[in-house]
Amino acid sequence: MGKLDGKVVVITGGSSGIGNASVRLFVEEGAQVVFGDIQDELGEALAEELGPNAIYSHANVRNESEIKALIDLAVEKFGRLDCMFNNAGFPCVGGPIDETPTDGFDVSMEIQFRSVFLGMKHAAPIMKQQGSGSIISTASVAGLRTGMGGHVYSAAKAAIIHLTRTVAMELGEFNIRVNCICPGGIATAIFGKGLGLDQVKAERFKELAKMFLSGLQPINRSGLPEDIAKAALWLASEESTFVSGHPLVVDGGLIGGRMWGQNTEQWETMAKGLGIEDLEENRRKINEEIARMK
Ligand X SMILES: NC(=O)c1ccc[n+]([C@@H]2O[C@H](COP(=O)([O-])OP(=O)(O)OC[C@H]3O[C@@H](n4cnc5c(N)ncnc54)[C@H](O)[C@@H]3O)[C@@H](O)[C@H]2O)c1
Using CB under 6 A as the criterion, which residues of the chain lie in contact with ligand X when the complex forms? Answer: 12-13, 15-19, 37-39, 59-62, 87-90, 111, 138, 140, 183, 185-186, 188-190, 193, 225
The single-letter DSSP state of residue 3 is T
Q: Which amino acid is at 101?
A: P
Look at strands 54-58 and 83-86 and give their pairing: unpaired
* Known active-site residue 56: no
Task: Number of helices (H) and strands (E) in the chain: give both, helices first.
Answer: 11, 7
> Looking at 78, 153, 191, 205, which residue is catalytic?
153
Sequential DSSP letters for 43-106: HHHHHHHH-TTEEEEE--TT-HHHHHHHHHHHHHHHS---EEEE--------S-GGG--HHHHH
Phi first, then psi: what are they for 176, rounded to 5°?
A: -110, 125
Instruction: Name the residue nearer to ligand X (CB basis): 48 or 277.
Output: 48
Residue 60: CB minimum distance to ligand X, A = 4
The closest alpha carbon to 224, from 28, 12, 22, belongs to: 22
Instruction: Name the residue nearer to ligand X (CB basis): 203 or 271.
Output: 203
Residue 2: CB minimum distance to ligand X, A = 23
Neighbours of 57 (CB within 10 A): 20
Instruction: Name the residue nearer to ligand X (CB basis): 39 or 134.
Output: 39
Residue 176: CB minimum distance to ligand X, A = 21
- Cβ distance 243 to 177 under 8 Å? yes
Instruction: Compute CA distances 57 → 33, 62, 107, 177, whole Å.
Output: 11, 15, 22, 25
Neighbours of 56 (CB within 10 A): 24
Phi first, then psi: what are they for 37, rounded to 5°?
A: -175, 180
Residue 112: CB minimum distance to ligand X, A = 6
Residue 58: CB minimum distance to ligand X, A = 9
Residue 5: CB minimum distance to ligand X, A = 26
Distance between CA atoms of 239 and 242, rounded to whole angstroms?
8
Distance between CA atoms of 54 and 32, rounded to whole angstroms?
6
Instruction: Name the residue nearer to ligand X (CB basis): 19 or 150.
Output: 19
Instruction: Name the residue nearer to ligand X (CB basis): 133 or 223.
Output: 223
Instruction: Compute CA distances 100 → 25, 105, 187, 192, 250, whole Å.
Output: 38, 7, 26, 20, 29
Instruction: Name the residue nearer to ligand X (CB basis): 15 or 179.
Output: 15
Active site residue ranges: 153
